[in-house]
Structure 1
């Protein structure tokens, strides 16, 4: 079995010792992808208070950026957005953010028959001050 490791500067650097993605046969497994900006690591829509703690965030901005980051990893892997088959979504405030996330999801996947499967989980925290993270699997086309 061949394992190909994928890293790209077009997506934010991983926050730990892991690759952006790993290809195994015709499947592509993405590590958790958050909304940090490539290069700077800034988090779109985060506002900090005078003491440096998170005061507010914009789930719309973070969702759009996390989708852009997923797309960058897919493209670096030779895959396309349409190749996604399964997405696990982690939200730190399900009650507040799910409807916004769901609306943006529908913009990016307007046809339910071709959209990937999806599981959305409400969790208490992520490793950096982000409100959303995606874990994705794509099926790659044979050449």
Structure 2
């Protein structure tokens, strides 16, 4: 049976404790990252959409780093959007800054009608490099 270990970033935001979930779970050489949002440390959403997406990616990066990974180790992405049509351009521009060379991760984007006060959420599966 594969071992499981919770992974927390150096400065975890309040949502993990408030809602009782781990930012990520490591199982052997895979990292399953919970949905990351543009949350400030106190758990409040960043009101500006572009800044919220950038903060979600920063929160994601903090979790990846805590596990010894980086964006280049991401295999699969699922993102959630409250208004995909109007948000698509902003998200794609930021995505291209982060994932600017192939091979790109697999990506599924879903339109949703509620994200608890947020407008963007991203969850990933990453492969943890040997030695991390």
Shift of 1:9: 4.5
- Aligned partners of 1:21 and 1:29 also within 8 Å: yes
Aligned partner of 1:34 among 34, 37, 47: 37
- Aligned partners of 1:87 and 1:116 also within 8 Å: yes
- Aligned partners of 1:10 and 1:73 also within 8 Å: no
Shift of 1:110: 1.0
**2:83 aligned with 1:124:** no
- Aligned partners of 1:74 and 1:80 also within 8 Å: yes
Runs of 4+ in 1 over 6 A off after TM superposition: none
**2:62 aligned with 1:21:** no
Aligned partner of 1:84 among 69, 74, 86: 74
Q: Which runs of 5+ in 1 are unaligned?
A: 47-57
Stretch of structure 1 that moved more, 18-27 or 114-123:
114-123
Shift of 1:95: 1.3
2: distance between equivalents of 1:110 and 1:3? 31
Q: Which has the higher helix share?
A: 2
Q: How many residues align?
A: 128
TM-score (norm 2): 0.90
- Aligned partners of 2:64 and 2:71 also within 8 Å: yes
TM-score (norm 1): 0.83
- Aligned partners of 2:67 and 2:128 also within 8 Å: no
Question: RMSD of the alignment, in Å?
Answer: 1.4
